[in-house]
Amino acid sequence: MKLIRNAHVVDPATDTDGVKDILIDRNGLIAEVGSGLSGGEAEVIDASGLHAFPGLVDLHVHLRDPGQEWKEDIHTGCDAAVKGGFTTICCMPNTTPVNDSKTTTGYMVEKARAYGKCSVLPFGTITLGMKGETIAPMAEMMEAGAIGFSEDGRNVDNSEVMRIALEYASMFGALIAVHNEDPYVGRGGVVHEGVYSSKAGLKGIPDIKESLMVARDIELAYYTGCPVHFCHISTRRSVELIRNAKAQGLPVTAEVAPHHLFLNDSLITTYDTNYKMNPPLRSEDDRLACLEGLADGTIDVIATDHAPHAITDKEKDFDHAAFGVIGLETALPLTLHLVRENVLSLRQLIERLSTTPARILGRNTQIGTLAPGARADLVLVDLERKDIVGDDFFASKSHNSPFLGQQVQGLPVSTYYGGTCVYKA
């Protein structure tokens, strides 16, 4: 048993916002959150001056395991997660081999479970081999622990395959998360198409490459009635399409990554490949639209799209460098800035980092809240603590962050997973 004393608890799911004690039972579940609790023989942890949030939930990470463990593996991915305050992460299936089988799903779940630091919920692929043709064995993967299906890294080009996938996945209550890119528009582009791509002499990716397929998948959500979750939304047009779809009552949800909230395409003239990711850094207007969408709830969730790449994949000319940036350790301190700037309230930020992603995952009411009976996943945060994002900042094997060199404020001091301390600053 543990008793965390005098933490400022923010738990939107239970409408809690105030200084409280948190009692954790011997099974690693929340027993009670209240004032002046006494825990008998419980170990007492003084959290005066700290905030307590339900463990953060990231719907979108790449753990590179199996197959590219020099970039990241399930252990280091979990280390990075808990350092960043995340206790549940959903890993994308673009591994080697791709996760299109119960064997690979089972491997991921087991390796994470044995490590015991953080919950890893894998996405399986939508189609076999991520080839976009034949639906993958979804039922078997669900039995092995998959949370949903995604072809992240690639668009599913065939609309009929996508329609069948949505209908099939909905039979299991599985989440379908879509990576939207029209396959023909701006093919071979490496940065957002605009004045800066011209200035830099780099091939552009127009905003409609994303929104054309967002529009299609909204129509598929309408036709099938099945939920669609939009990964890493980056453009004003996409935000507006999703806002309209929600106004019509369609079952769509969306996420945005921190780099699309804080950075724009003007940075690409530096040719720093840590500014290369997919979707690309967009225009300032697109960035502002993402912030507006996040504030008004059009965008439900902040997800990192943590995409580790080795230095050898990034130290190339811009055209040939890998797409992707890491994000697990910087997401919370970066987005706490939105609270200081009054873009979001602290409650809204925790909704978008924990409550809502947990609700979208659906099956598990044990996460994303500090309600009695929930798994005691929580993070204690010092909102004043500052650090510089340097190479020694990361538990991840890869350091390809676009925020290197920046000072951040508001950092986890300890993270608890199932009542066990799994990270201490």
Ligand X SMILES: NC(=O)N[C@@H](CC(=O)O)C(=O)O
Binding residues for Zn(2+): 60, 62, 152, 179, 232, 305
274 binds ligand X (CB under 6 A): no
The answer to whether residues 422 and 415 touch, using CB atoms and an 8 Å cutoff, is: yes
The answer to whether residues 330 and 408 touch, using CB atoms and an 8 Å cutoff, is: yes
Of residues 128 through 167, those in contact with Zn ion by CB under 5 A are 152
Q: What is the dihedral of CA 93, 393, 355, 419, to 10 degrees?
A: 100
Q: Which is nearer to ligand X, 117 or 179 (CB)?
A: 179
Q: Which is nearer to ligand X, 57 or 422 (CB)?
A: 57
Q: Which of 2, 51, 64, 179 binds Zn ion (CB under 5 A)?
A: 179
157 included as an active-site residue = no
Please give the backbone phi and psi of residue 167, each rounded to the nearest 5 degrees, phi first.
Answer: -65, -40
Measured from the Cβ of residue 201, the count of other Cβ atoms closer than 10 Å reads: 9
What would the x/- binding string for ligand X be over residues 337 to 376, using CB under 6 A? Answer: ----------------------------------------
Interacting partner of 277 out of Zn ion, ligand X, none (Cβ under 5 to 8 A depending on kind): ligand X
- Taking the C-alpha atoms of residue 176 and residue 117, their distance in angstroms, rounded to an integer, is 26
The answer to whether residues 273 and 313 touch, using CB atoms and an 8 Å cutoff, is: no
Q: Which of 305, 317, 382, 392 is catalytic?
A: 305
Binding residues for substrate: 62-64, 94, 278, 309, 323-324
Q: Which is nearer to ligand X, 24 or 277 (CB)?
A: 277
179 binds ligand X (CB under 6 A): yes
Q: Which is nearer to ligand X, 20 or 179 (CB)?
A: 179
Of residues 18 through 37, those in contact with ligand X by CB under 6 A are none
Q: Which of 39, 84, 122, 324 binds ligand X (CB under 6 A)?
A: 324
Q: For residue 200, which amino acid is it?
A: A
Chain residue whose CB lies nearest Zn ion: 179
Burial class (CB in 10 A: 0-12, 13-18, 19+), 66: middle
Q: Which of 11, 207, 217, 305 binds Zn ion (CB under 5 A)?
A: 305
What would the x/- binding string for ligand X be over residues 78 to 117, using CB under 6 A? Answer: ----------------x-----------------------
The answer to whether residues 363 and 147 touch, using CB atoms and an 8 Å cutoff, is: yes
- Which of 88, 44, 80 has the alpha carbon at shortest distance from 64? 80
In sequence order, what are the residues at sequence separation of 6 or more whose Cβ sits closer than 8 angstroms to the Cβ of residue 189?
Answer: 197, 203, 204, 205, 206, 209, 280
| Sites of contact with ligand X (CB under 6 A) | 62, 94, 152-153, 179, 277-278, 305, 307, 323-324
Residues tagged active-site: 305
